[in-house]
Structure 1
């Protein structure tokens, strides 16, 4: 008997739920697609392309819409003999400088046997190579820079849109499409860059539950066999996605996780419990990944807030978190950060959605300040903080979550018994 056999009971084509799947039609983005199509119209007319800036949160269809329209644009342009269109797509994740982007663009435009090193050339020389490669294309070249907000200097964002006006290009007509998850990135650009790069702006708002249901329905018809999804599955996945910032990727991932759980169980149907269990599993993975990406001091700040939350001391000001954090840092043989840097870690935890922040305004006498509280399940947080708990020890507030005897061997002997060294009142000490 074979150990592995194909299981096609639940899925017809599971790859239709993967991130790189390109549907034949985009749903839920009619207005944005219409605006985007109008911005690309000069290309098909053989005119100088617009420079387009697209922004919106992660998972709202920016990249998918760009790939979809550019695919159709290339097909439609092929019917015109006098129109030569090239598209270069570059993801800027991991590329932080104009030099890195310029060298990668040169290599994208060149053959595999004529690549250049990504280090060692003067920037001016790299730009000269880039202009030569673009002019060799002679026609229209659209350059897509996805996750453009990773770029920390804006030289390339000035040079590309103005290459023809500055006399760097004679034949090629270049258009730049920038895609960003962070609209504040636009505000940080210099005025000369902003006026060129943001010639046409398109905002992709978060999906609502209705949009997400349409997207999931479209994907499910390709991905699953008919009749294997119970009626509540797609509405529930859409509702969770709408609640989680309108992210289509999260909704699709949740639908795939539910399908995987049903397949693992050998179930005939994907039902509500598979969705709920799948959400818990995915949430645990996201939280763990976010926490594990924190610095050591980020872990110590989170551990301090976690114990204060369990003691009922939250919402709490950063100055009242500091004594607990300082004590934890000392027990871990680390030098505590200054208050401002500790607050930076609290802000990062809030950005990750691990803790919540509330603005308080006490008027002239009390001023404005922030209060912090835990916003995630304790067990999920602890599952990603094993090393911190072992380094510092098990705080008495965690007694119902962790058996101290389980950690006694791995925790340092001088940092294990919190009940002797830290009282719950230390969280009430004012931070000077």
Structure 2
């Protein structure tokens, strides 16, 4: 036999443990699904529908619930002659402005009609919006526009003002756009401009982290399909659920932990996944989680991390938030990106602290300077630069920071430091 042989003793069908897997039902989200159904019901009733915004951390079921509900909505709409429904889905993961979102929407709509894409440059924002209105009007009826990870656009929120008002402003005649926004940032709405808040008139649905019992309920049917009978010991699924619940409450994390435990078992040529395999998988994923945590930061989060990395490269750490904020503004200017308030930068720093990416020290200088916080990286600088370098907008800044660190002999090694 060759180096690679097909596994016949651990995994029966690993697809249910894949991030892209869509379950037949959505578990442990009955209350949220009920709210979602009420929010979408006006579409079937053929009457004006409020925009819908879903909030919750990564892995709490927002995207799965949306795909599930829209699938049922589309199936139901077929039974009514007077309901004309279309859906368009855009991930805003790498989109940092309303202009970029509008271009992505135009191209997604054109793709469905086999029309040529438009360029991401060379048009004014108003022209792109006009093209978007033309494509939407050509569809007609109700168009549900899903903007996944919408918080990446930051303060550039014109798209959230223009789309809800398109019909009343006469930009479209035959279409009713309905926005479904999915955000990992509970405070995203707080940072929208007042005119957008007033225009959106949205229904909000919050997706809290899962507890251990809920995660166990989600894992069990996947585990039953994914593994051969008798492979998992009784404590494997509960332990995976407990680890994920204690950390993030993320179903995605629990599923990945179960899969990693199976893969480690397979690598050892063993026939049984045990508690020890789960604990080994947890150690392995904790290392990878630092990379993933950084990669899943918003553009603003990456800008804050970039500013802190530069102070690290200059050996100017720990750094006070006010000094870090000045560097952050420079980063945003270099990226031609919108900046957020110093308070929001501290929120991003708090999130990164919870992810284990940075350390925070509280200082109290008494009456002279008062109480303040200082920050520094809690992981190797090279690890941060690897992630920034993999994000196209930050490649140039990453190279500058690396050069600065090299000059100061401060660049640490990467994975080996764990």
Q: TM-score surpassing 0.5?
A: yes
**Structure 2 CA distance for partners of 1:356 and 1:154, relative to 1, 3 Å:** same
Separation in structure 2 between the aligned mates of residue 394 and residue 355 of structure 1, nearest angstrom: 16
Please say if 1:21 is aligned against 2:21. Answer: yes
Find the counterpart in structure 2 of residue 242 from structure 1: 245
Separation in structure 2 between the aligned mates of residue 163 and residue 394 of structure 1, nearest angstrom: 51
Find the counterpart in structure 2 of residue 128 from structure 1: 130
Deviations 1:353-374 (A, max 9, x none): 2345466779868843337799
Separation in structure 2 between the aligned mates of residue 9 and residue 239 of structure 1, nearest angstrom: 26
Separation in structure 1 between the aligned mates of residue 105 and residue 168 of structure 2, nearest angstrom: 20
Deviations 1:329-383 (A, max 9, x none): xxxxxxxxxxx9xx98976852542345466779868843337799x7xxx7599
Name the count of aligned residue pairs: 363
Separation in structure 2 between the aligned mates of residue 187 and residue 295 of structure 1, nearest angstrom: 24
TM alignment of 1:173-192, pairs within 5 A: 173-192=176-195
Q: CA offset at residue 302 of structure 1?
A: 9.3
Given that 2:362 and 2:372 are in contact with CA atoms closer than 8 Å, whether structure 1 keeps it comes out as: yes
Q: Which is greater in Rg? A: 1
Given that 1:254 and 1:282 are in contact with CA atoms closer than 8 Å, whether structure 2 keeps it comes out as: yes
3-state secondary structure, aligned to 1:392: coil
Separation in structure 1 between the aligned mates of residue 160 and residue 381 of structure 2, nearest angstrom: 43
Find the counterpart in structure 2 of residue 298 from structure 1: 309
Find the counterpart in structure 1 of residue 409 from structure 2: 392
Find the counterpart in structure 2 of residue 252 from structure 1: 255
**Structure 2 CA distance for partners of 1:392 and 1:237, relative to 1, 3 Å:** same
Find the counterpart in structure 2 of residue 70 from structure 1: 70
Q: Mean Cα displacement is larger for which, 36-45 or 214-223?
A: 214-223
Find the counterpart in structure 2 of residue 101 from structure 1: 101
**Structure 2 CA distance for partners of 1:290 and 1:24, relative to 1, 3 Å:** closer
Q: Mean Cα displacement is larger for which, 75-84 or 348-357?
A: 348-357
Q: CA offset at residue 282 of structure 1?
A: 1.1
Deviations 1:302-335 (A, max 9, x none): 99799xxxxxxxxxx857xx9xxxxxxxxxxxxx
Separation in structure 2 between the aligned mates of residue 371 and residue 97 of structure 1, nearest angstrom: 31
3-state secondary structure, aligned to 1:231: coil
RMSD: 3.5
Give 5+ residue unaligned stretches, structure 1: 307-316, 323-339, 396-400, 403-432
3-state secondary structure, aligned to 1:83: coil
Q: CA offset at residue 179 of structure 1?
A: 0.8
Give 5+ residue unaligned stretches, structure 2: 296-301, 324-341, 386-401
**Structure 2 CA distance for partners of 1:360 and 1:38, relative to 1, 3 Å:** farther
Find the counterpart in structure 2 of residue 117 from structure 1: 119
Separation in structure 2 between the aligned mates of residue 103 and residue 244 of structure 1, nearest angstrom: 37
Separation in structure 2 between the aligned mates of residue 155 and residue 108 of structure 1, nearest angstrom: 19
Separation in structure 1 between the aligned mates of residue 187 and residue 41 of structure 2, nearest angstrom: 28
**Structure 2 CA distance for partners of 1:3 and 1:355, relative to 1, 3 Å:** closer
Separation in structure 1 between the aligned mates of residue 313 and residue 350 of structure 2, nearest angstrom: 11
Q: CA offset at residue 191 of structure 1?
A: 2.1
Given that 2:319 and 2:376 are in contact with CA atoms closer than 8 Å, whether structure 1 keeps it comes out as: no
Q: CA offset at residue 58 of structure 1?
A: 1.3
TM-score, reference length from structure 2: 0.76
Q: CA offset at residue 209 of structure 1?
A: 0.9
Find the counterpart in structure 1 of residue 199 from structure 2: 196
TM-score, reference length from structure 1: 0.74
Matching residue within 156, 165, 177 for 1:162 = 165
Given that 2:312 and 2:376 are in contact with CA atoms closer than 8 Å, whether structure 1 keeps it comes out as: no
Given that 2:313 and 2:411 are in contact with CA atoms closer than 8 Å, whether structure 1 keeps it comes out as: no
Find the counterpart in structure 2 of residue 416 from structure 1: none
